[in-house]
Amino acid sequence: MIHILFTGGTISMRRDSAAGGNVPAHGGDALLALAPGVERIAPVRVEDWARRPACHFGLGDLWRLRERVREIAAGGDATGIVVTHGTDTLEESAYLMARTLDTTIPVVLTGAMRTADDPDWDGAANLTDAVRVAASPLSRGRGALVVFAGSIWRGEDAVKVEATALAAFGAPHDVRTGAVSAHAVDYELAAHPRAPLSPRGLTARVALVALVPGDDGALLDAALPSHDGVVLIAFGSGNAPPGIVPALRRWTDSGKPVVLATRCALGQVTPLYAFEGGGAQLVRLGVRPAGPRTAWQARMELCIALSAGVPYGGEPQHDLP
């Protein structure tokens, strides 16, 4: 039996002329009626957990959703779980579940880029594909997955890379893990699960600061008293304006972690430059490269790690896992 958690997002929306745009409308039963192929794949159980836009979810909401998924998995009667989710923050939920859930049954997140009122609505196909992936024995032990537009992505890799296209998700620091069609679920990569972190909630406050030309570190200083860590979105391979260095030293002197990400769409921080503000200098000051993550993934990793009481994710100094 596949347990489907409906949380809202575009997949649940219809256009409301009075509101002037798309708003949540459909519950789980209505969405299943629009995807009639689902019941031929596996028995399903529907839960209307929420009917909200994903951009309305805070960290507390994401944690409560994660906890509900954990409860269902621990219940023992579900062979797979599907979560329908708005695409705005689907990657945060997927990353959180991938890094903190310890379950062998598949947890599959999906959504839509069009509403049921649109002629090219993708919700029915994505929901059907997600159920097919969750029901496949090949998906066991693979942790949290994202299924979108026929592709399967690992939860810790999946990123929304296109704002409006139907194939909205990709993996800037990896490749897709598999594909799904009406005929088969095929995995192109072997499973390589990692030991999950075990926070009791997302209690750590982690700032995300994008650096700009001529930056003087004012935002870094402003965030220091109220945050437990910070992720910097730097230039290129991890370089920063020299004006931020004094503020950065105040962060490292405080013992609070600083993680260095890049604003580039592809590639990762590689500390090669030793000039003032260069990535090599920042690493010598105690800053840690984000590794194969976007800045947003690095923020989730740091938030999860600090909430679990594990500094820097418990990994070697040169990188986050």
Supply the residues annotated as catalytic.
10
Interatomic CA distance for residues 216 and 97, integer angstroms: 36
Element (H, E) at 98: helix 90-100
Residue 11, both tokens: 């997949």
Instruction: Name the phi and psi angles at 241, rounded to 5.
Output: -60, 140
Place of tokens 């299943």: 32
Give the other-Cβ count within 10 Å of 43's Cβ.
10
> Is-contact 293 301, C-beta < 8 A?
yes
The structure tokens listed for 126 are: 């994505």
Contact 112, 11 (CB under 8 A): yes
Total count of residues recorded for the chain: 321
The b/e string for 74-99 (b: 16+ C-beta within 10 A; e otherwise) is eeeebbbbbbbbbbbbbbbbbbbbbb
